[in-house]
Structure 1
């Protein structure tokens, strides 16, 4: 692995971290630093929408308001560079809680799940950005 590939991998890891932070904090405009303006985002396996970056931001803000306690962990990441793009698959685990306050583990509305985020990323003038995200929901529990 040369220095350029190492730098690319670190920058892509930062994009994944930025995505998790945007979702968990509700900083929806930070998603502009994750996705290209024409990105297609697909949350259908989790019961969500498939839409543009702008549509996804509106949908996320509306739906996730019901779970103010949020934590996404990004784990095993596979990056394959091909023809100026990067195919990125990263495992995730998430918890959505009905409150940011202490709640019992059996509280109604607590959701936990996991799966894979599959990105198609491009190097842009502003750094790596995702042009496509497909969430592959592997499991989900709901209280």
Structure 2
């Protein structure tokens, strides 16, 4: 790898980490600095919605109210670079606590595309892919929406 590819890979890994941090700190407005304006985001694989950036921000600002604690632990960041675009597959382990202190776990992948705009990497699309779920409470529908 040359220095430009190393730099791009490090910037993309930071972008993925910044996304997880924004979700876990409930700073959903930060998505405006992480995604392209025309980004498509699809959380339907784990019971969420699909939509554009502003629809997703609005959705997340209330959808996670029933979960006082959760974490998005990311790993296995596999990237394919192609100039000012890239694709990635990112593993996510997601423990979640409900209001009654039940803890459940989701395993998922993020299937991403990225664009480099004005020397800055942004997420152009993010599609969640469910891998597994454990101990999910009955009131939560993690079945993909059609």
Distance in 2, Cα, partners of 1:43 & 1:24: 16
Q: What is the TM-score normalised by the length of structure 2?
A: 0.88
- Displacement over 3 Å in runs of 4+: none
Residue of structure 2 equivalent to 1:66: 66
Q: How does 1:93-104 map to 2 (within 5 A)?
A: 93-99=93-99, 103=101
The total of aligned residue pairs comes to 136
1:59-138 residue pairs with structure 2 within 5 A? Answer: 59-99=59-99, 103=101, 107=102, 110-125=103-118, 127-138=120-131
TM-score (norm 1): 0.89
Could you tell me which runs of 5 or more consecutive residues in structure 1 were left unpaired when the two chains were aligned.
none
Computed over aligned residues only, the root mean square deviation of the Cα atoms, in angstroms, reads: 1.5
Find out whether 1:139 has 2:129 as its counterpart.
no
For the Cα contact (< 8 Å) 2:84–2:117, is it kept in 1? no
Report deviation, 1:29: 1.0
| Deviation of the 1:98 alpha carbon | 2.1
Q: CA distance change for structure 1 residues 23 and 86 in 2, over 3 Å: closer, same or farther?
A: same
Deviation track 1:92-117 (CA, whole Å, cap 9, x = no partner) reads: 10011125x9x4xxx2xx33111210
**1:20 CA displacement:** 0.3
Q: Determine the C-alpha separation between the residues in 2 that align with 1:59 and 1:140.
A: 22
Q: Which runs of 5+ in 2 are unaligned?
A: 138-146
